[in-house]
Each structure stands twice: as C-alpha cells, then as structure tokens.
Chain A
Amino acid sequence: MADEGEGIDRHERFRGDYPIVVEGLENKFGDHAVHQDLDLKVRRGEILGVVGGSGTGKSVLMRSIIGLQTPTAGDVKVLGKSIIDTEPEDAIGVRNRWGVLFQGGALFSTLTVGENVEVPLKQFYPEISDALREEIARYKVLLSGLPENAVNKYPSELSGGMKKRAGLARALALDPELLFLDEPTAGLDPIGAAAFDNLTRELKETLGLTVFLITHDLDTLHEICDRVAVIADRRVIAVDTVPNLMELDHPWIQEYFNGPRGRAALTAQALDELRKHMDMPVAAHAVKALDNAAATKDKA
C-alpha cells in the first residue's frame, strides 16, 4: 500500500491491490457471535459476491466494512484507512469514495430521485455550481438505466426495480471507487434481475469499480461475479471463482451450488456461453439439443 503516508491528498486514489481488507473481525450480539476471526481481502477491480445462509451475517459484514457497525474485535481497512473507532459521520476521507446501495434502495422519501442523487454531491462538494450539480444528477440517473422522466419522481411513485436503480444512481453520485450492493436483485423479476446484473457489470467495466455484492441470486453469482466469498461457521470459509468453489468438499457449498437451483443456474450460464461463442448452425443445433435435454430433465 504505497500511497499511505503523511499529507495524502484527498484527491489521490488508493493504489493498493486490496481496497478492502478485513482482519480477525469479530461481531457479537450478546452471547451470540456472528463473526469470529473473519478475514477477507477484496481485490481491486473485481466483483466479489458474498454468499451464506440466512443469518450468517452477510449484511453485518457489510455494515462493519462501511462503519455502521462497530465490531467487537478485529480491524477493517478500506482504501488503506482503518475505519474502526470512527463515528459513521466522521470525515476520514473514504466516505466520498464509496457508494452503498441498501436492500430497499433507502431513498430519501421526501426528495425526488434527482434530488436524492444531489444529496451526496452537496454534502461533499459544495463548491460545485448548481448547474453542474443538476447536470451530474441527471446523467447519473440516466446512467443507472432509468428513463428521463424518472428524475423528478418521488420514490413512492417508482416500482421496486426502479427504486434499486435510483438507489444505484445515488450510490454512484460521487464517482466512487468502491460500490457496495446489498442483495441488488432480491425482489426483482428474472428479466429485471438480469438487466440489473448487466448494468452492474457494465458500470464496473466503464467506471473501473470494485464491487462488494451480497446476493442470494445464483444467476448473479454465475454471470457477473469474479470471485465469491462463502460465509459459514462465523468465518469466510472460501473465496474463489464459482467453478473452483464447486470442487470444494464442504457440505454447505456443495448443497448451495450443486442443489437443483444451483445446477439450473449453471446450465443456463453454460448455454449462454455456447450461444455467445458459436453462431454456426451446427452449434445452434447443439444448443437446441441441450435446451431440449434440459427441459425434459426439468419435467422429469
């Protein structure tokens, strides 16, 4: 982490390889330990999926990383700075460099979508002129895949999927380096979920984001995640690509990825790949055959 030192400029970007480093994290609620000795390193520029059964503390982990939850023990470094022992509101020079999309969008309900996007801009960069700030808000909304007329709508007038996109627009308001997504596709229909996955991937590639993504969606894991971290037994038991994880001999991982839903997602992804890489008629036949086979299998 070369750039750590005195007089670090707040405009300067963190150049280390691991923008998020969690070491020996322990979270306890009363006697109940959610995390114990949890280690996790997120690589620059990757989409890291985080999976785990319900109640294994995926959201608690995210809240610990973004400083909303003070861990009982351990250290969390984001962009080279420890965020333990700082109040969530303290300016420590990293909060303007991440964006967070909460599960329900968490939009401010008394503001329109455009005004929601303006909030972080006003907070961190009051020197930006009104005209430019409004332009930024508008293009961020469009960039998140919302139609133009969504800009001046209130959150209550939006559908679930649109709320998530609006939340994403606000998370991207400051051009962050890190993006935290808490179950972005939960509650979306399959088409909307796939579109959101594509959007995440595209934005990651264009903006050069590092994405920390909590999900239950097996399709999301297969389609867009570079690596997947599995939380079980209060720790991260494995971080690897999906194919490598499936090789591991852990009962929960096996059940998760090789259960009926896991296999279906895998087949879907394999078919996708085939279609992408081969347009030859022979291949098309092969795909069709595979499709049919899958359909018959499903029926059976």
Chain B
Amino acid sequence: MTRLAEFELQQGEGGSVLALSGPYLVSTVGAVDEDLRGLDEPLARIDLSEVSEIDTVGAWLACQLASRHGAEITGASERATRLLGALTGMDSEQALSAPRLPVWSRVPEAMGEKMFNARSGAIGVISFLGAALISAGNLIRNPRRFRTVALVHQVELVGVSALPIIGLMSFLIGIVIAQQGAVQLAAFGAETLTVNLVGRITLRELGVLMTAIMVAGRSGSAFAAQLGTMKLTEEVDAMRTIGISPMEALVIPRILSAVLMMPLLGFYASCMAIIGGAVVGDLMLGIPFWTFLSRIQEVVPTYDVWVGLIKAPVFGLIVGLAGCYNGMQVEGNSEEVGKRTTLSVVAAIFAVIVLDAFFAVFFTELGWG
C-alpha cells in the first residue's frame, strides 16, 4: 500500500492523462501540491482510480486541477464523487485578511480619529462630571436617597484595605529619599538638611502623588472594571428600569469615597515616608529617631501640610471620575472592559501629574513656596 501521494503523466487517447495514486489527504498532499500546480500541459483526464484514500483537501486539489486544465475526472470512488460534488461552486477569491487601507491614508485617518475621540472624550468627561454634580445636588436635597452602606463599603475598599500597601510603599520611598539625599548633601557637609528634604518633599509632593497613583491603579481600575462589567451584563439597564439612578447608586459612592479617602491616605503616606526617613537617619546619619521627628516639626512649615491636603481630594476626584466615566462608557464586548480599564488608569495618572505641576506653580505664587 502506498504511503505517499504520487502522480504520473500518461499519454492516452485524446490527450494526456494525469494518474493520481496513493492517499490524497490533508496530511499528504503538501508534498505534491507544488508539482501539481506547476503542470502546464493540457490534460484530458484526471484518473483517480489508484487513489487509496481521499478527503476534502485531496478532492479540492483534483477539482482545481480539473477546472484549470479543463480536464475530466474519471475513476473516482463513491466517496471521492461525493466530496467532489460537495466542493463544486466553492471557489472564492476573497482575501483572508481584513481589508486595510494603504498606509498613507490609514495613518492620518487613525490620527484624525484619535483627535476626534479626544475631543468627544473631553466633552464626555465634563458632561459626566456635570451629571455627577447634579445627582449630588439631588442627594443633598433628598438625603434619604443617599446610599450610606455603599459609601462605607467603598471607603473600606478604597481606603482601609489600601493601608498596608500604601504604607509599605511610602516607607520605602522615605528610605530611598533620605539615603540618596544624604549621599548628595554630604558633598556640602549638609547631611542634617536630609530632615528638611524628607519632610517637605513627602508632605508637599510625593506622599499625595504616589498615593494618587496607587489609588488609580487599585481603585480607579476596579471602578472601571466593575461598572463596565455591570454595563455588559445589563445590570445598569436593569437598575434604570427599576427607577434607581446608576449615578446615585454606583457613581456617587465611588467618587465620594475616593475624594474622602485621598487626603487621609495621602497624609498617612507622608507620615510613613517620614518614619522611613527617620529610620535611615537613625541608622546612617546618627540623627536619633525622635530627634529626626521633632526636627521635622521645626523645619517643615504648616502650609506644606495644607498643600498636600488641598491637592489630595482633587486627585481623588480625578481618579474616581476617570474610573467611573470609563466604566460607564463600556459597550459591546469584554475586550472593551479591558481597554476602558487601562484607559481609566492611564488617564487618571496623567491628569494627576499634569494637575500637580499646576498646583506647584500656583502654591509658589501664593507664597507657599
């Protein structure tokens, strides 16, 4: 029994005969396909009588050969006849990959689309903020509709359960700042200024900024994914039909919890960073732990604390808004949830950093430098 697909050209009456033999299966035709395509002499008949086994791929090959050379298929077994019958009219020229525009029109089109999306996105966010403020106003007038339980639950998720990771992160950042700062300041013989460095940079900038980034990654993404999934499973629509406003029930508690928790977490992060700095001071610089802390009180002006505390709720609003807005924009399929979640985190972190730069200039102008 032949194991390989083979073919032979014979001269018969009325023209050449292509005799195929052996198994013509998807697993075997790869070897003969090129050669068969290369045939360019006219064929009168294609003889399948020696073909031991055939599947649709073999039948397809015979079918194509027959139509290309105008040949007639003979000696087909019952199975081959059935397969050939099933494959007639299955010719198609359709390309397998999706049609794509040429690169010179595709790139500008994509850029233009991005621009339009950015514009409609900006308008969307502002309208979303407006809608959130209106429903917040409604809640103030009807405080009974306010969802305290949902708020407490979100406060726990956003605030309490973030304490360990934010604490650890800030503690380590404090260590790094103190250690690296001390190395640089030693060049001027000013190691003792490490206290000023750690105290001011963490309370003014890094404590709140790093916390905002962490909350965006932990909670902003969770908001987007939760609300997005609820949109997909039509839970949001179900709420609307029952007369519950998703804005009041889902969005307000989430944004509010981020706004409330950010100042607390930011201040806590600053404290942890200072403790980290004090540990380094004790171990490397010879400044006793408690002395480091009491020096902080002397060298850090009170307005530094205020700068941090004023920025924090604004950052919280941005993170909560980005998460909820993107979650509520999910439509269609689960891929969209992933995209929107990513977008919410990226947009939130970007906006927080841009806004932080504005705040820095603003507070310096105020004289809180």
A residues contacting B by CB (< 8 A) are 9-11, 13, 96, 109, 112, 114-115, 118, 121, 124-125, 127-129, 131-132, 134-143, 148-149, 151-154, 156, 174-175, 205-208
Are A136 and B60 interface neighbours, CB within 8 A?
Answer: yes
Q: Which residue of A lies closest to B30 (CB)?
A: A127
Chain A contacts for B25, CB-based, 8 A: 11, 175
B29 within 8 A of A: yes
Measured CA separation A134–B64 after assembly (Å)? 13
Measured CA separation A127–B23 after assembly (Å)? 16
Are B57 and A153 interface neighbours, CB within 8 A?
Answer: no
With A11-B25, A139-B87, A207-B56 known as contacts, the answer to whether A152 contacts B30 (CB < 8 A) is no
A-B contact pairs, 19 of them (CB 8 A): A11-B28, A96-B27, A114-B96, A125-B27, A136-B26, A136-B60, A138-B90, A139-B60, A140-B56, A141-B92, A143-B56, A174-B26, A175-B55, A175-B56, A175-B57, A206-B82, A206-B85, A207-B55, A207-B56
Are A152 and B98 interface neighbours, CB within 8 A?
Answer: yes
Since A96-B27, A132-B29, A175-B57 are in contact, a sample of 14 more A-B pairs with Cβ atoms closer than 8 Å, ordered by chain A residue number, is A9-B3, A109-B335, A114-B94, A114-B95, A115-B96, A115-B97, A129-B33, A129-B37, A132-B57, A139-B56, A151-B96, A175-B56, A206-B83, A208-B79
Measured CA separation A137–B57 after assembly (Å)? 10
Q: Which residue of B lies closest to A134 (CB)?
A: B96
B53 within 8 A of A: yes
Chain B contacts for A141, CB-based, 8 A: 92
What distance in Å separates the Cβ of B101 from its nearest Cβ neighbour in chain A? Answer: 14
Please classify the interface of chain A as helix (H, G, I), strand (E, B), loop, or mixed, using the class held by over half of its residues: helix
Measured CA separation A112–B30 after assembly (Å)? 24
Are A156 and B30 interface neighbours, CB within 8 A?
Answer: no
Measured CA separation A9–B28 after assembly (Å)? 12
Measured CA separation A137–B53 after assembly (Å)? 21
> A129 is contacted by which of B30, B79, B96, B99 (Cβ under 8 Å)?
B30
What distance in Å separates the Cβ of B88 from its nearest Cβ neighbour in chain A? Answer: 10
Measured CA separation A13–B23 after assembly (Å)? 11
B residues contacting the other copy or chain, number (CB 8 A): 37
Measured CA separation A10–B97 after assembly (Å)? 32
Are B92 and A142 interface neighbours, CB within 8 A?
Answer: yes
- Cβ contacts B93-120/A at 8 Å (1 or 0 each): 0111111000000000000000000000
Measured CA separation A282–B56 after assembly (Å)? 43
Measured CA separation A185–B90 after assembly (Å)? 25
B41 within 8 A of A: no
Are A175 and B96 interface neighbours, CB within 8 A?
Answer: no
Chain B contacts for A142, CB-based, 8 A: 90, 92
B34 within 8 A of A: yes
Chain A contacts for B333, CB-based, 8 A: 156
Chain A contacts for B55, CB-based, 8 A: 175, 207
B86 within 8 A of A: yes
B31 within 8 A of A: yes
Measured CA separation A136–B29 after assembly (Å)? 12
With A114-B96, A134-B96, A152-B95 known as contacts, the answer to whether A11 contacts B90 (CB < 8 A) is no
Measured CA separation A11–B26 after assembly (Å)? 9
Are A138 and B92 interface neighbours, CB within 8 A?
Answer: yes
Chain B contacts for A112, CB-based, 8 A: 96-98
Are B98 and A154 interface neighbours, CB within 8 A?
Answer: yes
Interchain residue pairs A-B with the least CB separation, the first 5: A114-B96, A127-B30, A175-B55, A139-B90, A151-B94
Are B23 and A11 interface neighbours, CB within 8 A?
Answer: yes
Chain B contacts for A143, CB-based, 8 A: 56, 86-87, 90
Measured CA separation A148–B85 after assembly (Å)? 19
Chain A contacts for B23, CB-based, 8 A: 11
Q: Which residue of B lies closest to A140 (CB)?
A: B56
Are A148 and B94 interface neighbours, CB within 8 A?
Answer: yes
Measured CA separation A156–B79 after assembly (Å)? 36
Chain B contacts for A137, CB-based, 8 A: 96
Measured CA separation A141–B56 after assembly (Å)? 13
Are A175 and B82 interface neighbours, CB within 8 A?
Answer: no
Are B33 and A128 interface neighbours, CB within 8 A?
Answer: yes
Measured CA separation A10–B23 after assembly (Å)? 12
Q: Which residue of B lies closest to A142 (CB)?
A: B90
What distance in Å separates the Cβ of B232 from its nearest Cβ neighbour in chain A? Answer: 14
With a 10 A CB-CB cut-off, give which of A11, A115, A121, A151 has the most chain B CB atoms: A11
Measured CA separation A76–B89 after assembly (Å)? 40
- Cβ contacts B328-352/A at 8 Å (1 or 0 each): 0000110100000000000000000
